[in-house]
Amino acid sequence: MRLGRIASPDGVAFVSVEGDGADAVCKEIAEHPFGNPNFTGRSWPLADVRLLAPILASKVICMGKNYEAHAAEMGGVAPEDPVIFLKPNTAIIGPNVPIQLPADAHPVHHEGELAIVIGRPCKDVPAARAAENILGYTIANDISARDQQAKDGQWMRAKGHDTFCPVGPWIVNDLDPSDLEIRTEVNGEVRQLSRTSLMIHDIGAIVEWVSAVMTLLPGDLILTGTPEGVGPIEDGDTVSVTVEGIGTLTNPVVRKQK
């Protein structure tokens, strides 16, 4: 099932997106998509609604340097243990919403990633039971202001600006995440091309590590790290991240004025 969140003429709703192309339909889910969703009976053609970020997370947890080749391109080696950091939930935007580059940040990079969506409250989850606590998977783009990251010595400002966490277009809840192609394009040019099988720490290990630190709540996002090929985005660009089995998340890029 593809679980989404839409703005329709009737308001904002969680939906199941069924069908493809011109025949795609959004069927409204009552209240929330967790557990066994109940449907209201209302529906809209996908073409008549606007896709929003598919979930409103209480927190966004990110994995740093979870692909060997990306760690190398950043001038280092991958740490033995996972490295995690947070983005504020105010950084989240949905498909087709502009990524706003700070006026004085150069360069700002894209980082296409597979994202885990937590399905129920959980703490201290063993890796073998991670799937029981996952609602599904979506796509994220961990936008990063590299000059601020280097200057500050920590990553919160560089990765926490409003619009620096595009997410979408929906959540897929029947997906095997172990070996999916992940591709990032800027203006149609392929920048990143890899597979989730090359993660250093897999989905189970990630959920175990993060949940040992903090309680996870329904809707929380865990970004699983980016592969090699990160690079700059500029005013006027269009960034698209595609994950096999999910779809494509596309956002234009604009630069804020001083």
**pLDDT tens-digit series, residues 62-106:** 999 999 988 888 777 878 899 999 999 999 999 999 999 999 999
CA 2 to CA 26: how far, in whole Å? 10
Question: pLDDT per residue over 181-212, tens digit each?
Answer: 999 999 999 999 999 999 999 999 999 999 99
CA 91 to CA 53: how far, in whole Å? 11
DSSP string, 207-247: HHHHHHHS-B-TT-EEE----S--EE--TT-EEEEEETTTE
**Cis before 88? omega within 30:** no
CA 152 to CA 162: how far, in whole Å? 18
At 257 the pLDDT is 87
Q: Which is it for strands 165-172 and 92-93: parallel, antiparallel or unpaired?
A: parallel
What pTM does this model have?
Answer: 0.97
Same domain, 78 and 44: no
Same domain, 140 and 30: no
Same domain, 109 and 213: yes
Q: Which amino acid is at 62?
A: C
Question: pLDDT per residue over 40-57, tens digit each?
Answer: 999 999 999 999 999 999
Provide the greatest CA pair distance for the chain. 53
At 78 the pLDDT is 79
CATH code of 165's domain: 3.90.850.10
Greater confidence (140 vs 78) lies with: 140
CA 163 to CA 22: how far, in whole Å? 29
CA 33 to CA 126: how far, in whole Å? 24
Q: Give yes or no for residue 117 having a pLDDT over 90.
A: yes
Same domain, 170 and 234: yes
At 69 the pLDDT is 85
At 41 the pLDDT is 96
Same domain, 24 and 115: no
- E strand or H helix at 51: strand 50-51
pLDDT > 90 in the chain, percent:
91
Task: Count CB-CB contacts under 10 A for residue 109.
Answer: 19
pLDDT, the chain, mean: 96
Question: pLDDT per residue over 222-239, tens digit each?
Answer: 999 999 999 999 999 999
Integer CA distances (angstroms), 223 to 1, 103, 117, 173, in order:
21, 26, 9, 16
Same domain, 8 and 73: no
Q: Give yes or no for residue 116 having a pLDDT over 90.
A: yes
Note down the domain range covering 216.
60-255
End-of-domain residue from the set 13, 36, 52: 52
